[in-house]
């Protein structure tokens, strides 16, 4: 467990240092075969990018370094329990294991409240705060039909 603590301490260090650079208090480390292959910090306000969370930035760097969108065999260490977007990205990246320090309640208490997103996800689309309207499904379905019938595709 000492090696895991070492990597978590790195994620925490990144989160603290990022505050000094004008970023949010979040850091992430991706490890493969016992070595750090990528790190990320929250750059939402610095980059004017609402998706520039620490975990997303670390995943992007790791995928680029490994030249693979599939991060199987990797672990991620995050200074905080991931938001819904980051958790989804961690699953999509096929990361094997996640370690986190602060909880989503800790984040909420610090002013980073994602509870409304968790609640919205569980609602029927028509009951969500974000107004949704489906358009042109009959035309769009052609892309999925083409995908299903393509034989030289890379599945993910």
Residue 55 falls in the annotated catalytic set: yes
Each residue's pLDDT tens digit, 58-74: 999 999 999 999 999 99
Residues 25, 11, 31: CA angle, nearest 5 degrees:
145
- Mean of all residue pLDDT scores within the chain: 96
pLDDT by residue (tens digit) across 135-155? 999 999 999 999 999 999 888
Provide CB contacts within 8 A for 88, sequence distance 6+: none
> Cβ(71)–Cβ(95) under 8 Å?
yes
The pLDDT assigned to 1 comes to 87
Residue 40: which of 19, 57, 65, 60 has the closest Cα?
57
Q: What share of the chain in percent tops pLDDT 70?
A: 100
In the set 13, 55, 75, 81, the catalytic residue is 55
């Amino acid at each position: 467990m000492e090696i895991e603590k070492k990597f978590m301490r790195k994620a925490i260090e990144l989160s603290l240092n990022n505050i000094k650079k004008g970023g949010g208090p979040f850091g992430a480390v991706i490890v493969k075969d016992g070595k750090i292959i990528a790190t990320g910090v929250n750059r939402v306000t610095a980059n004017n990018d609402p998706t520039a969370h620490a975990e997303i930035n670390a995943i992007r760097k790791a995928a680029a370094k490994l030249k693979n969108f599939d991060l199987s065999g990797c672990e991620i260490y995050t200074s905080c329990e991931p938001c819904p977007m980051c958790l989804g990205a961690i699953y999509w990246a096929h990361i094997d294991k996640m370690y986190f320090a602060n909880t989503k309640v800790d984040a909420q208490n610090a002013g980073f409240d994602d509870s409304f997103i968790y609640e919205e996800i569980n609602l029927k689309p028509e009951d969500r705060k974000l107004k949704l309207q489906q358009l042109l499904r009959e035309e769009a379905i052609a892309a999925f039909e083409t995908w299903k019938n393509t034989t030289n595709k890379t599945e993910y």
